């Protein structure tokens, strides 16, 4: 077992030296989005999370994270729509439910003219250069 572990460590060290592991990691839009979000670059983060959701339209984490980035930019309507979708995809995720409730409450307190209710139609333009958010989940995923 030690021999295998040593070979894996040697392989990883070699790949790191070549920069291959970093480039593979850098090509993950979710990881890049989280890095941009941590740096405070909400616009770039939103675009990366949109890329991730385009690759997998049922990625509740990407939808949640994009909503966080959009809300930080003041685009609360799109953020709310994405959080509602993420909540339908992953109803047991407490972090998504908390983000959804917090945004709804904030919108109800601070923008009373905006009705923070669940919408049946997606918000157009939530994804840059795509025109609309990903398709609805298959019927078996819906409540």
Q: What is the pLDDT of residues 53-108, one digit of tens each?
A: 889 989 999 999 999 999 998 898 899 999 999 999 999 999 999 999 999 988 88
pLDDT at 62: 92
CA gap 94, 71 in Å, rounded: 18
Position 18 pLDDT exceeds 60: no
Helices (H) and strands (E) in the chain, counts: 7, 0
Write the CB contacts of 60 (distance below 8 Å, at least 6 apart in sequence): 86, 87, 89, 90, 93, 96
Position 116 pLDDT exceeds 50: no
| b/e code 100-134 from CB counts within 10 Å (16+ = b) | beebbeebeeeeeeeebeeeeebbeebbeeeeebb
Q: Which residue has the higher pLDDT, 136 or 64?
A: 64
């Amino acid at each position: 077992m030690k021999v295998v572990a040593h070979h894996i460590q040697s392989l990883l060290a070699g790949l790191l030296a070549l920069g291959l592991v970093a480039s593979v990691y850098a090509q993950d839009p979710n990881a890049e989005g989280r890095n941009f979000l941590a740096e405070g670059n909400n616009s770039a983060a939103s675009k990366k999370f949109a890329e991730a959701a385009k690759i997998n339209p049922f990625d509740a984490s990407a939808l949640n994270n994009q909503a966080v980035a959009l809300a930080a930019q003041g685009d609360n309507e799109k953020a709310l729509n994405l959080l509602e979708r993420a909540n339908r995809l992953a109803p047991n995720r407490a972090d998504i439910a908390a983000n959804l409730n917090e945004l709804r409450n904030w919108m109800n307190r601070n923008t009373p003219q905006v009705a923070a209710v669940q919408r049946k139609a997606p918000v157009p333009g939530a994804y840059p250069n795509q025109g609309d958010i990903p398709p609805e989940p298959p019927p078996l995923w819906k409540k």
